Structure 1
Amino acid sequence: MTPPSQHAPASWRTFLLLWGSQSVSLVGSYVAWFALNVYVAQVLYPGEDQKAPLALALGALAIASTLSAVLLAPVAGSVADRTDRKRVMLLAGVVSGLLTLGMAALMFGMTVPFWVLLAFVIVTQSLSHFHEAALESSYVMIVPEGQLTRANGMMQTTRQFSSLLAPTLATLLVGVPALLGWGGGLAPLAQGVPFALLVDGVSFLVAALILARLAIPSPPPAENHGSAAANLKADTRLGWTYLLRRPPLLQLLIVAAALNFATAAIPVYQTLLTTFTLEADRVARGLSFPATLAIIQTVTSAGMFLGGLAISTWGGLKQRRILGILLPALVSGAGLVLMGLSGNLYLTAVAFALTVFVMPITRSHSAGIWQSQVPRELQGRVFAVQRVVGRVTVPLGMAFVSALSTSLPPGPVIAGMGLLVVLICAVQLLNPTVQRVEDREYVEGLAAARGG
């Protein structure tokens, strides 16, 4: 296997161009997703008697997005290691752009039925997973190793900025026909959502155009084992075997899974705590439920964005990056404990902000370690396992918290989740195996002792 450091000369300028173009596309995607939810809620199921089908429709869109990420991760990882990664990104971007423009055109001419929207989401989300697998596996090919943490932090910041900007930008785009005086009733809204999709479609094509002009090398493709099914089976087995034979990386994955499990339900925490734990405090302050929830959500979003901005500016630790994972994760766990035990609105909001502020720092250091430790020709397949484990814990965490909160006060449940994170991180800080996760000779020595 080729060490990650042995690749074509790294170019920070290439990454900046790639990051800038992908950021534009990401903003467009967040805008389109928000607009699609508006379309479902206000065009397809706007009536008071349609709340049940509306809930089912919105749930179906969310499940389709989440489930496709888990199911397609091994396939996308295999393709990323067996195909030119730049070509995969280009194909996914161009096809997504054309499909999105086609959906916009369809909406201009008719009311699109829900099953068509669902199929559109499944296909475009599937393409995005292939794009993501190829993109994440390309960082180490173009970014100097010392800048990997910064690069991942910049991508984290873009995601948070996009999530903050999308509702406002989508609302402006959806309102264009009304501003122009087109039609009446729901007509402007039905005609306005396609404007948001047009922005997304164009952003895909602009990103693809810039990507086409960038030099992004790929490692030699993996050897074929026969049929596509045989290749996928072998690639999935390789990804799991690689991790099982390298305990430091496997234990790092367990830390990430535990953190995802505990923090996945942050939106649920916001609603539960506002409804139950903070009710007395908000009433004493003369605040309504929506106003209280808005305060918490706004502070949380700001905390996440500032965390991404901080790691992007700082660039992260250059040595002992494991501390850039475990120490911020400890803070995140402590924040969960604080928000679970607090009955004060503003202290709870601060706890939310603290919890999410350190999350981009943790994720960026983690990504930097994985990208620098896993051989470049294996990253698609190994990262596929990482994505499966990381994303499966998200719905599990949400389901766990929701189920417990039906019979227990949500505050202690959330505090318990935070305590779980604190304990796991404290144990790993004392674990010499995890502390040497960046020692490649040590990690590969363990793998050799286990047969590969």
Structure 2
Amino acid sequence: MLSSTSSEIPAAGWRTFLALWGSQSISQIGSYVAWFALNVYVAQTLYPAPEQKAPLALALGAFAIAATLLAVLLAPVAGSVADRTSRKRVMLTCDVLSGALTLGLVALMFGAVVPFWLLLAFVIVTQAVSIFHEAALESSYAMIVPEEQLTRANGLMQTTRTFSSLLAPTLATLLIGVPTLLHGSGWLASLRDGVPFALLVDGVSFLIAAAILARLAVPSPPPAEDHGGAAANLRADTRLGWTYLLRRPPLLHLLILAAALNFATAAIPVYQTLLTTFTLEPDRTSRGLSFAATLAIIQTATSAGMFLGGLVISTWGGLKRRRVLGILLPCLLCGAGLVLMGLSGNLYLTAAAFALTVFVMPITMAHSNGIWQSQVPRELQGRVFAVRRIVGRFTVPLGMAFVSGLSTTLPPGPVIAALGLLVIVICALQLLSPTVQRVEDKAYLEGLAAARGG
């Protein structure tokens, strides 16, 4: 197996990563803009009438469910591909394919109203392509970035995601309004809306990312051995990923923590609406605030907290030693934030609790990704990270369903506080576990694996 020592990293590795980060950031901003625009298209073009609220809700839910389920179902396949082919080639193919599909949808929108079934098919296919791209990209960090810079690299990616989510609504709204701005100015003014322009930005951003990536040196480890056919390879690769984790309990403990954290925080957008509707009703009324204004305050605080967290970890670069504390201590604060938001009846205290809860998330994720990327051999990262995604992400829809279901019969505040307490208890147990504290000791991990048969 390849080791993850800095001596094997290309001399220009950090510059290569910055170029890769910049190109993928452009693409990610475009994707967030396109996602926002698609939701607007469904709401304003396909189902604009008041009596169409039910099909509108089903359509938006179908988008979210498709994206979430695909991330779980395709993770093993994407991980196997990332370890068996050139990771750069996978990313290039995904960027070009996504760009072509998006530009094709733009062409259709310029000529006709696109039906929902076709939009859903577009979302499914492009999300599937994105999952393969993510698997190849995430497993490439350790090939080009020195180990001591992995946390900073992941922090930069987290910052891009947050910045994209903040910028996308404004940029998409401007693009969607182009026909109105050009009223009476030729064929552009005859368009129903400017959603095609928002999608055009996304399609072009993919092609720009591909053009930059084509010029970068992104090495891949030697491909995994062939076990005889794609189906046999997939079974063997999935089994390898599970076996690798089961034989290394410290990594498995971190994965359980991530799953619990995702379960507790997956429904944060739902928390915002539920708390504004029920828990904060007396306080906002006493302040003379409308429902929309109250929700806007909470959403703004949440977005600002997430962005600042990404900025802090990108600038700081994270812990260089005992990075596990960069996971567990922020997770404790995240749990405390959930408890506070669940118990608070004060608008501004609740907004601060949301900001605290999401502020620590990029810090936690950057340290976690850095540990996984430095501890798992680079030629196994695609397959092991696939199992990591399955376990970590399958709790997202469960968390959403749990909170939504209980909140139909119970006040949402105590439910959210209980989830925060769950996170605190799990983090405290991990902090007290000597096994977890040695997660960065490679010799210890391999000793455990050898004692368990591999």
For Structure 1 versus Structure 2, the TM-score category normalised by the shorter chain is over 0.9
CA distance in 2, matches of 1:396, 1:412: 18
Determine the structure 2 residue equivalent to 1:163.
165
Q: Is the 8 A contact 2:331 2:360 kept in 1?
A: yes
Match of 1:32 among 11, 31, 34: 34
Could you list the structure 1 runs, at least 4 aligned residues long, displaced by more than 6 angstroms after superposition: none
CA distance in 1, matches of 2:39, 2:209: 24
Q: Is the 8 A contact 1:178 1:188 kept in 2?
A: no
CA distance in 2, matches of 1:381, 1:200: 29
- Deviation string 1:260-281 (CA, Å, 9 cap, x unpaired) is 1111111111111111111000
- Deviation string 1:333-387 (CA, Å, 9 cap, x unpaired) is 0010111111100000000000100000000000000000000000000000111
Determine the structure 1 residue equivalent to 2:223.
221
Determine the structure 1 residue equivalent to 2:418.
416
Determine the structure 1 residue equivalent to 2:348.
346
Q: Is the 8 A contact 1:111 1:190 kept in 2?
A: no
CA distance in 2, matches of 1:439, 1:135: 25
Match of 1:447 among 429, 443, 449: 449
Determine the structure 2 residue equivalent to 1:402.
404
In the TM superposition, what is the alpha-carbon distance from 1:178 to its structure 2 partner?
1.1
Distance 1:363 1:408, change over 3 A: same
Within 5 Å, give how 1:34-433 maps onto structure 2. Answer: 34-181=36-183, 190-433=192-435
Determine the structure 2 residue equivalent to 1:4.
4
Q: Is the 8 A contact 1:296 1:352 kept in 2?
A: yes
Deviates more, 1:135-144 or 1:6-15: 6-15
CA distance in 1, matches of 2:67, 2:429: 34
**What letter is aligned with 2:4?**
P
In the TM superposition, what is the alpha-carbon distance from 1:182 to its structure 2 partner?
5.0
Aligned residues: 451
Runs (5+) with no aligned partner, structure 2 = none
In the TM superposition, what is the alpha-carbon distance from 1:7 to its structure 2 partner?
3.4
Partner SS for 1:171: helix
Q: Is the 8 A contact 2:63 2:120 kept in 1?
A: yes
CA distance in 1, matches of 2:269, 2:338: 13
**What letter is aligned with 1:363?**
M
In the TM superposition, what is the alpha-carbon distance from 1:189 to its structure 2 partner?
6.1
**What letter is aligned with 1:335?**
G
- Deviation string 1:391-419 (CA, Å, 9 cap, x unpaired) is 11111111111111111111111111000
Percent identity, aligned pairs only, is 82
CA distance in 2, matches of 1:167, 1:237: 41
Q: Is the 8 A contact 1:96 1:124 kept in 2?
A: yes
In the TM superposition, what is the alpha-carbon distance from 1:187 to its structure 2 partner?
7.5
CA distance in 2, matches of 1:99, 1:354: 39
CA distance in 2, matches of 1:416, 1:51: 32
Distance 1:365 1:188, change over 3 A: farther
Q: Is the 8 A contact 1:156 1:360 kept in 2?
A: yes
In the TM superposition, what is the alpha-carbon distance from 1:65 to its structure 2 partner?
1.1
CA distance in 2, matches of 1:388, 1:397: 15
